[in-house]
Structure 1
Amino acid sequence: MAEKPLSAMYLFNGDDNLKQEMLLERLRKRVESGDETGMNVQVINEKELQGPAHLTDILNTIPFGSPQRLVIVKEVDTLKKPLVEALTAYVAAPLETTVLAMTAKKLARNTRFYKAIEKYSSQSIIDCSQKKRSELPQLIRGIAQAEGVEIGVPAANALIDRVGTSTVSLSTETKKLAAIIKGKGAKTITENDVRSLVALAVEPKSWDLTNALAQRDLSLCLQLLARMKGFTEVGLFAICVTRIREILTAQTLKNRREPVAAGMGKQDWQIREIVRGAELYRQSELLALLKEAPVIEKKMKSGSDAKQLLELWIVAACAGSSIRA
């Protein structure tokens, strides 16, 4: 079956860089498949342009020894106004032998430029919005499988925690992990593999810490604390105490056989880690932690070593030990 003819232009609009790069590579292969010269793919660098007329000349250049040539212009939403105006004029009457591929993080729909592309063909605008965090484990799994290995949801989430939500970074790290795992003769990337082989690249969010606390994962809690430079110890302590209180509430509702999510005024997905914590903590442990919380907070605010107090309280929570400070 013959492939659909290429459009004279494409706009890959959104902040999913991996999707953009995959689409650009697909276009590059299509154009190069009919090109014996290797001279018909050009990536525009704004710094090398001599002005709007130079850009227009490049776009109107006839392909050499090939039916089409590919011109790639990245981040068109950051170009200077004269260049944007030149592109706007060009897309109104493009050269059919040029395939203009443009990327943008967020080109607004109400701009003349966007409207000009849309007028040419709405199908030329490809949505490359960043995937939701909940969709990323499936993406990672697909990348891993393409590399010949498997990865479960817990390991995929651990990778997101360490690398962030950039699809390009997730793809790169998944491929690295796959190569290492296959080198060891294994077939599955585990959560321990991720934590031992992937460097921490992003500052954790508050919920990363509270989720680790709910899981009673002391090692992860301490790792996260060491990297949470944008938070005060008092602030971190407050959100941790709130999480312990939520776990106690969930435990109480479960014991009464009442709906946990409805009873807490939350959605099911919002209480997943809380319910897990309710299964891992004893009620007496939760009550002891909450009883000690006001004492710890008072010491923190009166000049005691807040970092040490927070760490000791978390150790007590995760390890089930008594609190001494």
Structure 2
Amino acid sequence: MKLKEQELAGRLKKGETPCVVLLFGAEQGRIARQAQALSLWALGGDADADFDAESFQAGELKDDDAISRFSSSLRALPFLAPRRLVRLKEAHTLPAAAREELKLYLKDPADSTLLLITAGELEAKNAVRKTVEGMDAGWAAPFYPLEGAAFTQWIEQTLRASGFAPERDALELLTELLTGDTRAAEPELEKLKNYVGEPGPVLVSDVAAVVSNASLHSGFELVAQLVAGNAPAALNTMARLWEHDAEPIPLLGLIAARIRRIAIAQTLLAEGAQPKSIAGKLRIFWKEQDAFFAQCRQLSPRLLAAALEQCLEADKGLKGMDGRPPEQVMESLVMALASLFGARGRPQSGSGSSRRG
């Protein structure tokens, strides 16, 4: 059956016992935490994972022997735990033969086993997803990246759980610098807590000193250079980012998020909303608001749509679909966006702007 992320814990508390749980989506951080909670529930406090738990990488189930071991594990009885736990990781990479074997098992799953399947993004027509969603004893829950206020709330809750109280501007800056993937954000929040030291207030200066330098150093500068069409400066900034071990996916997220926010702000402005209200709604860091609304005036919806298409292609490249190294994918994106945005100020061929009469 289809469930929301928030429904999983409640159903377990009610005593419901699924035979199969599928957790899938782009938000791997929350998937990992939910998988850990389900594993503890399945095994109980006194279980020995060496006897009652087994884990398989979907992409490795390529030959008959590997598929047979997987099938046997699913049908084995628990030794000490209330039920046996079998993990199937990265199910989006499952080979065809193993997928058919899994579909057969899902028709008659073992009551004494919890098959916990985790995966990246799965289309609605994916065979495993469709099968689990149609099972009474199967739960399928998607995990989407947190955006906007939801991501800000997660950041605040994560910090406050350890006794740290971020000020408003610090939260806004964290939301801008980090991405909706909590797995990528958690290490940066740990660095921030270590920098601040004792639990207490977290200032915007703390965030600027730690997170921006550690993860997305000069990220705002890069976006501004791209929007200005300044390719040489943007490439120099990219070089500094690599020197500071910036991760390509969060960096792409920062660029795409900025473009999406500009597009949303343009729509709201056209509907008569005031800039102050828009800045609050989109959680634009106050020091960035003048530059942000200047970009809203400079860029056309057509350019923004084309820029988001470029970001989508880069996302595919970072997932290995074109075989290029991540740094090359991002540098190509920088060149493409700088060229795209830079072209807005150049006269079009045949536009009548030539000096020749």
Q: Is the 8 A contact 1:151 1:189 kept in 2?
A: yes
* Counterparts in 2 of 1:25 and 1:190: CA distance versus 1, 3 Å: same
Q: Is the 8 A contact 1:55 1:86 kept in 2?
A: no
Query: What's 2:207 paired with?
Result: 194
> Which of 34, 38, 41 is the aligned partner of 2:53?
41
Whether 1:269 and 2:284 are equivalent positions in the alignment is no
> Which of 64, 74, 89 is the aligned partner of 1:59?
74
Whether 1:173 and 2:219 are equivalent positions in the alignment is no
* Counterparts in 2 of 1:69 and 1:176: CA distance versus 1, 3 Å: farther
Q: Is the 8 A contact 2:191 2:210 kept in 1?
A: no
| Cα distance in 1 between the residues matched to 2:284 and 2:170 | 20
> Which of 68, 72, 91 is the aligned partner of 2:83?
68
Deviation string, structure 1 residues 5-44 (Cα, Å, up to 9, x no partner): 3310101121111221111111122123254333222221
| Cα distance in 2 between the residues matched to 1:180 and 1:276 | 24
Structure 1 position 265, deviation (Å): 11
* Counterparts in 2 of 1:36 and 1:188: CA distance versus 1, 3 Å: same
Query: What residue ranges of structure 2 are gaps of 5+ in the alignment?
Result: 1-11, 242-261, 299-341, 343-357
Counterpart secondary structure, 1:51: helix
Counterpart secondary structure, 1:67: coil
Deviation string, structure 1 residues 185-224 (Cα, Å, up to 9, x no partner): 35122221112122134884799538x99xxxxxxxx999
Provide the alpha-carbon RMSD of the alignment.
4.4
Deviation string, structure 1 residues 20-72 (Cα, Å, up to 9, x no partner): 11111111221232543332222213437743222111111111122201111
> Which of 129, 132, 143 is the aligned partner of 2:144?
129
| Cα distance in 2 between the residues matched to 1:64 and 1:123 | 23
* Equivalent pairs, count: 249
| Cα distance in 2 between the residues matched to 1:202 and 1:10 | 39
Aligned AA (2:201): T
Structure 1 position 142, deviation (Å): 0.7
Percent identical residues = 19
* Counterparts in 2 of 1:162 and 1:67: CA distance versus 1, 3 Å: same
TM-score by length of structure 1 reads: 0.62
Whether 1:19 and 2:34 are equivalent positions in the alignment is no
Query: What's 2:350 paired with?
Result: none
Deviation string, structure 1 residues 130-187 (Cα, Å, up to 9, x no partner): 1224421111001011111112343234234444332112122213322332x2x351
TM-score by length of structure 2 reads: 0.57
> Which of 116, 124, 131 is the aligned partner of 1:116?
131
Structure 1 position 82, deviation (Å): 1.3
Whether 1:4 and 2:19 are equivalent positions in the alignment is no
Structure 1 position 93, deviation (Å): 0.8
Q: Is the 8 A contact 1:43 1:72 kept in 2?
A: yes
* Counterparts in 2 of 1:98 and 1:106: CA distance versus 1, 3 Å: same
Q: Is the 8 A contact 2:132 2:138 kept in 1?
A: no
| Cα distance in 2 between the residues matched to 1:147 and 1:180 | 14
* Counterparts in 2 of 1:121 and 1:188: CA distance versus 1, 3 Å: farther
Query: What's 1:138 paired with?
Result: 153
Deviation string, structure 1 residues 216-239 (Cα, Å, up to 9, x no partner): xxxxxx999723899xxxxxxxxx
Q: Which moved more, 1:19-28 or 1:127-136?
A: 127-136
Q: Is the 8 A contact 2:218 2:237 kept in 1?
A: no
| Cα distance in 2 between the residues matched to 1:27 and 1:98 | 12
| Cα distance in 1 between the residues matched to 2:61 and 2:105 | 19
Counterpart secondary structure, 1:197: helix
